[in-house]
Amino acid sequence: MPFLPVSKEDMEQRGLKQLDFVYVCGDAYVDHPSFGHAIISRVLEAHGYSVGIIAQPDWKDDDSVAVFGEPRLGFLISGGNMDSMVNHYTVNKKKRSEDAYSPGGKTGYRPDRAVIVYGNLIKRKFKNVPVIIGGIEASLRRMGHYDYWSDSMKRSVLLDSGADILSYGMGEKSIVEIADALNAGIKVSDITYVRGTVYKARTTEQVSDGIVLPEYEEIRNNKRKYAESFAVQYENTDPFTAHTLIEEYDHNVYIIQNPPAYPLTTQEMDDIYALPYMNDVHPKYREENLKDLSSQKQGNSKAGVPAINEIRFSITNNRGCFGGCSFCSLTFHQGRIVQARSHESILKEAEAMTKDPEFKGYIHDVGGPTADFRFPSCSKQLKQGVCKGKQCLYPKPCRNLKIDHSDYVSLLRKLRKIDGVKKVFIRSGIRFDYLMADKDDTFFHEMLKYHVSGQLRVAPEHISDTVLNYMGKPGHEVYEGFLKKYETYNKKTGRKQYAVPYLMSSHPGSTMKEAVELAEYIRDLGYMPQQVQDFYPTPSTLSTVMYYTGIDPRDMKKVFVERNPHRKAMQRALIQYRDPKNYELVKEALLECDRTDLIGYGKECLIPPRPWKEKSKDMEKSGNRGMDKNNSKDRSRQGRSKSRHSLVRNRK
């Protein structure tokens, strides 16, 4: 099958006079199942509907959405695989210099708040055509929410975009139901019954089991009310137990959220990933055609769409995550019930990869939100749903948790045996606490022997149990136990492989004291992490609500939040205290915490009394050989990769 139509000429070549749907997307067109626009379009096509793609239209030109004329059934809108604001701005609200989802990695091809801009653009041009919004950007803004970039509360994106229906979650089931209803002649305003959707209404008479949330004006003016509202929303993300939610706005307008769509069966997952994707970027993004794109965009000049590079030879194994991290949006988007593909489906995709001329024998990943989750966390979830007010892994693994890696091990073994496959990596991440809870170490052994490429990325996030509690992560002792086991097994295999930790600064609950404790831990590792993330308050996560309200929605208790940009920079600098440019920030933090014991030339110190560049000159003047000797040891310690656990280090 060819790529989906991107022009009138493509449409006419298929013998189509009018398309059923036009999909407007903030990403470049990549026909690969890692891209939401490809999946939704191919699913609709499989159900007999024609779809055209308008990728990254010029939002300043109303005619840019009229490429195909008026669609028969409606417009579909997505901001792209990433939230457009996260795509555009760093946590410091500075413009990013690259966009991996745009041609050549260049920026400027999509607007801020893309779903809202595209929605209004279409409504201006086609006033009476149904508009359905979806994807991660719409999904996480489906109700009133805190917006970090404006530091204010925002209305449901359904209102601000002018759209008729919002499809939240992954959307395959809901989009087909919507399409069938429109095709049957049902007015878009009457499509109020589809699971996994949000709609507008002037009355709530049609809702029988609804929970009325605080009104938008209440949550806009009262942070505690917003925390209360979010707690109810968070408890109603499970398809088997969720109620309809109602949020009222001025002038008797109601935003009504139906319960989530039911999880996909294994067969449904297999069918979706077996659709005829081209598994490549559209030809118009090839190097020879990039000259036709605007030369005014900023960024790299490389051809293609950079996001395809890592995922082209990766395989999606599962969806959903019962990890429940507070800062993660998965609970709100994919849900906590894990859904997985069959071995046969995954093996078929891997075998097809080996026939690609560009395949070098390496499958980059077999994973998902969490690579080693293959089943729901317990047997009751597919009948009774996930537990309310409880997590499967936090603070400790639930006694009902099904801990079993045998199916994943079997899958990986089969993949390794495929002709043409040299190596199968696991790069999307594993849950070290889930791995540690497994009494059978077969997967642990085989992961280290076959599936790690020198480094394994893990996410302890912090070392303070206080902060970890707010993050919804296990206590630090679990990570320490994992590192010891990791080192032991690596020694047995004779391999030098390293665990690379992801760490986060300034998460709610983290004071400067906890930040200093984390710096001391890093000092003892002899390792300066390259992967550091200052907490980014993205819409509709527990941590973002904590950040905005200063309240933990789980128990409605107060939580410390660092919101001052300079002080946030201090916390981040402490994690990378060896970087000379961080010297003044680190020193300020240590002085504030009365930790001058960490300023000096001793082995326990984080920084010297003077900036790094001044230190050698200062000592040359002093002529103190003893201090120079000690200082040389300190500099040597900074330069080499010495570790309490030798596996956690940089290779120089």
Q: Which long-range contacts (CB under 8 A, 24 or more apart) does 146-150 make?
A: 146/226, 146/537, 146/539, 146/544, 146/545, 146/547, 146/548, 147/539, 148/85, 148/536, 148/537, 148/538, 148/539, 148/544, 148/547, 149/85, 149/89, 149/93, 149/112
For 300-326, write each residue's pLDDT tens digit.
Answer: 334 689 999 989 999 999 999 999 999
Cα torsion 28, 34, 39, 40 to 10°: value is -60
Residue type, 283: P
Res 623: pLDDT: 35
Could you tell me the pLDDT band of residue 528, with boundaries at 50, 70 and 90? confident
Could you tell me the pLDDT band of residue 290, with boundaries at 50, 70 and 90? low
Does residue 291 register a pLDDT over 70? no
Strands 365-367, 314-316: pairing is parallel
CATH number of 8-208+246-257: 3.40.50.2300
Please name the helix (run of DSSP H) or strand (run of DSSP E) that holds residue 552, with its range, or none.
strand 551-552
CATH number of 311-428: 3.30.750
Q: Dmax of the chain from CA atoms?
A: 90
Q: What is the three-class DSSP state of 201?
A: strand
Could you tell me the pLDDT band of residue 288, with boundaries at 50, 70 and 90? low
Strand residues in 101-214 grouped as ranges (E): 131-134, 145-147, 152-154, 165-167, 197-201, 211-212
For residue 477, count other CB atoms closer than 10 A to its CB. Answer: 9
Of 428-432, 492-496, 545-549, 572-576, the range with the lowest mean pLDDT is 492-496
- Torsion angles phi and psi, residue 226, rounded to 5: -65, -40
Does residue 441 register a pLDDT over 90? yes
Instruction: Look over the chain and give the mean of its residue pLDDT values, rounded to a whole number.
Output: 90
Residue type, 423: K
Res 221: pLDDT: 97
Cα 4 from Cα 52, distance rounded (Å): 6
Q: What percent of the chain has pLDDT over 90?
A: 84
Domain 8-208+246-257 and domain 311-428, same fold? Reply is no
For the segment 550-567, the average pLDDT, to the nearest whole number, is 97
Does residue 511 register a pLDDT over 50? yes
| Domain range summary for the chain, segments of one domain joined by + | 8-208+246-257, 311-428, 454-652
For the segment 501-516, the average pLDDT, to the nearest whole number, is 96
Does residue 453 register a pLDDT over 70? yes
For 255-275, write each residue's pLDDT tens digit.
Answer: 999 999 999 999 999 999 999
Does residue 634 register a pLDDT over 60? no
- Torsion angles phi and psi, residue 6, rounded to 5: -120, 0
Res 289: pLDDT: 63
Topology (CATH level 3) of domain 454-652: Transcription Regulator spoIIAA (3.30.750)
3-state percent helix, strand, coil for the chain, nearest multiple of 5: 40, 15, 50
